[in-house]
Amino acid sequence: MTGRPEALFPLFAGLETLEGVGPKTAQHFAQLNITAPRDLLFTLPYSGIDRRLQASVKDAVLPATVTVAVTVGQHRAPSNKTGAYRIHVEDSQTSFQLVFFHARGDYWKRQLPEGSRRIVSGRVELFDGMAQMVHPDFTVAEEDAGEIPTFEPVYPLTSGITQKLMYKATRATLARVPEFEEWIDPSQKAKAGWPDFNIAIQAAHDPEKMADLSATAPARERLAYDELMAHQLTLALARAKERRKKGRPSQGDGRLQGRVLAALPYKPTGAQTRAIGEIAADMASPQRMNRLLQGDVGAGKTLVAFMALLAAVESGGQGVLMAPTEILARQHLEGLQPLAERAGVVLEILTGRDKGAERRAKLAALEAGAIQILVGTHAVFQADVSFADLRLAVVDEQHRFGVRQRLELGQKGRLADVLVMTATPIPRSLALAQYGDMDVSVLDEKPAGRKPIRTALISTDRIAEVVERLRAAIQEGRQCYWVCPLVEESEVSDLIAAEERFKRLRATLGEGVVGLVHGQMPPADKDAAMRAFQNGETKVLVATTVIEVGVDVPNASIIVIERAESFGLAQLHQLRGRVGRGQAASTCLLMYQAPLSETGQQRLEVLRETEDGFVIAETDLKMRGTGDLIGTAQSGVPRFRVADLERQAGLMQIAQSDARKLLAEDPELASPRGQAARLLLWLMRQDEAIRLITVG
């Protein structure tokens, strides 16, 4: 399977091979992400115009598109050049006017002679009580009525592309679709009542009524499923490939884990115990583990990960925990150090800061196996880092590391198990889209002793009260975050907002009390500002969103989020999770600029009502749609042309089990259905998958 199958060549040829499409038009099409005829196939009409013949325009609710048979009456040429050329026409019950601008000579006299019969179709509007059809879309003789489509599809357009052009180009493409064999599981297809692909693609472009345009129409649903199926096949292939990789069984005996559990002031939650069990079973099996540990803010992921790292050490190997930033790596180190001492294991940190002799000493200790657990940033990817026996890699905050890095890390320990932790609760449908190649453990309980966070909505004009509240909290020895709004797209304006707020708070609360961190700072300054806050030297930290993930300051019990309506729900939830980590009751103040839009209000109220990240993520998905949910650019969630992740989450689940089942029965995709599935992967541009099959 080295190259694209020949049957698909016409669909992947240049757009210029379609009649009527030149280089210029091809450039316009590119605006719609259409670069080959294949993309036109999956650009479906989003609406339609009913052009069935009506008896009269009399009963139509105007303005509307109407198709009627008329007798042509008197012509009235305009008195001046720019005026309108009007033709009086009569249908079976009433009369109206056809109106043309820029009429040339006696053109319309010849086209629509007085007394002739015509069928006209176009938009009819009322002007001064008179019904008018300005520039009809169709004017044909009665015997040519067939030229007018009864239901005309309406396509998404961009400048330079008209409906006519789109119609023509999609028809030319449909003529190139080869006969496809079926790739969907026959029983699934029968149960859902889906047509064959070839019938479905024709029907989707030729809707007969409005209902045919809905996502649940059989033809549309089938095509959405094909997209999801191709995507899940890609993930399933990646997963199968990972699974075929021999892992090394790491069987912990529990002696180190037992010491830590005995020293904990609380019992792990049921969810933590379950996750520890799932991970231990994966590590003990001969296949490589590729598991996602998903838990809400403060659900206790770190303990679960540390237990897994101890299991790696118990079985005679080493473990590594990777964090996306230096601050988070140091924080993990501080959090885990006391537990490591309890267990009697050697824990070290390696970041870009380690230089010279100190770095060399750490690398030697690592290679000799003297360091049992390493915490680090992506500095652990560097070529000179080698382990004595790496059994487990834990990656914190998945969306900062692509699949690529997950694999690279695996190369360090040829057969190391991989555990990815994420604090972003992801709705099930998106989790399947993003992490379908992994097995998932979910922590859905809060550990005992976490106090709920009070969330309040407060309008910006009460900012003075808020500042007084901070002053009182500081006097009680507490600390506060102040998050500045996301201004437009430019980082410069974010920066101005943060610096302004910093100056004002400093003027009110006093020198040395307020710190500032933002994205434009040199990393060393950022770390210094964070450290001053962590050590309690500054009491208020003014920040842009750089503080969102994982920063832990137990003494911080208030977070103010300015212009909260400009943030996404998931992001607000993450930010709120920065407080409520210590003994004090915590508060999150969502400051908004009145008046709030209705959706703005709904979003902020969801946060006030619940602290459950999964509920919040589901709501976010419903309200905003997939596109912005995780900032698609960096999230690895594919853009689907037909499928709608919010409304078709159920289809994604069926596609996942169908894809995994197909590969279990036919790992080489060699059966007739397997061959059809290969064609689907090519058709859906799943080049990743195709590489996996070829190499795999």
Mean pLDDT confidence for 378-382: 79
Is the distance from CB of 52 to CB of 98 less than 8 angstroms?
A: no
- How far is it, in rounded angstroms, from Cα 458 to Cα 480? 17
d(CA 629, CA 639) in angstroms, rounded, equals: 12
Give CA separation, 509 vs 375, 478, 485, 499, 545, in Å: 38, 14, 20, 15, 22
Amino acid type, 461: D
What is the distance between the alpha carbons of residues 335 and 340, in angstroms, rounded to a whole number?
9
Q: Which of 464-468, 489-493, 507-511 has the highest mean pLDDT?
A: 464-468
187 vs 553, higher pLDDT: 187
pLDDT in tens, 596-632: 888 888 889 889 988 887 778 777 767 765 443 333 3
Instruction: Identify the pLDDT of residue 636.
Output: 45
What are the tens digits of pLDDT across the range 15-28? Answer: 999 988 999 999 99
- pLDDT exceeds 80 at position 84: yes
Asked if residue 171 has pLDDT above 50, the reply is yes
Residue with tokens 């699934």: 188
Residue 360 has a CB neighbour count (10 Å cut-off) of 12
- In the predicted model, what is the mean pLDDT of residues 9-19? 93
- pTM score: 0.61
Q: How far apart are CA 475 and CA 465, in angstroms?
A: 16
- Which structure tokens are listed for 70? 């008329």
In DSSP terms, 96 is beta-bridged to: 89
Contacts of residue 130, defined as CB under 8 A and 6 or more positions apart, other chains included, come to 96, 97
Q: Give the burial class of 300: count Cβ atoms within 10 A of its Cβ; 0-12 exposed, 13-18 middle, 19 or more buried.
A: buried
Of 399, 444, 398, whose CA–CA distance to 295 is shortest? 444
- Asked if the model's pLDDT at residue 70 lies above 90, the reply is yes
pLDDT at 635: 41
Would the pLDDT of 442 be above 80?
yes
Q: Which amino acid is at 583?
A: Q
What letter would DSSP give residue 160? T
What pLDDT sits at residue 565? 87
Stretch 445-469: mean pLDDT: 86
Rg (CA), the chain: 32
Which residue shows structure tokens 């009864």? 150
Structure token digits, residue 563: 């212009």
- Cα-Cα-Cα-Cα dihedral of 122, 126, 129, 131, to 10°? 0
Looking at residue 631, its pLDDT comes to 34
Phi, psi of 365 (to 5 degrees): -65, -35
User: Which tokens sit at 421?
Assistant: 């932790």
At 544, list the tokens. Answer: 């842009």
Say whether pLDDT at 331 is over 90.
Answer: no
Q: Omega into 595 within 30° of 0, i.e. cis?
A: yes
695 pLDDT higher than 60: no
Highest mean predicted confidence (pLDDT) among 209-218, 289-298, 485-494: 209-218
Residue 629's pLDDT is what?
37
**Phi/psi of residue 53, nearest 5 degrees:** -65, 130
Per-residue confidence at 491, pLDDT binned at 50, 70, 90? low
The C-alpha atoms of residue 209 and residue 229 are separated, in whole angstroms, by: 27
* Res 337: pLDDT: 92
Q: Tell me the mean pLDDT in the region 173-201.
A: 95
Query: Could you tell me which residues come within 8 angstroms of residue 104 by beta carbon, excluding any fewer than 6 positions away?
Result: none
Predicted confidence (pLDDT) per residue in 117-142, tens digit: 999 999 999 988 889 999 999 999 98
> Residue 383: pLDDT above 50?
yes
Determine if the peptide bond prior to 63 is cis (ω within 30°).
yes
pLDDT for position 1: 47
Averaged confidence pLDDT in the chain: 85
Q: How far lies 557's CA from each of 449, 516, 587, in Å?
A: 15, 18, 6
- Mean per-residue pLDDT, 366-393: 89
Rounded Cα distance, 618 and 614, in Å:
6
| Residue-wise pLDDT tens digits, 402-441 | 555 555 665 565 678 889 888 777 766 667 766 767 788 8
Q: Does the structure show a pLDDT above 60 at 548?
A: no
Sign of the Cα torsion 372, 523, 301, 542 reads positive
All domains in the chain, ordered by first residue: 52-148 (2.40.50.140), 255-443 (3.40.50.300), 453-610 (3.40.50.300)
**Helix, strand, or coil (residue 305):** helix
- DSSP strands (E only) in 265-399: 290-295, 318-322, 347-350, 373-376, 390-396
- Dihedrals φ, ψ of 64, to 5°? -160, 160
Q: Both tokens of residue 583?
A: 């003994």
**pLDDT given at position 634:** 34
- ∠ CA 264-266-268, nearest 5°, is 95
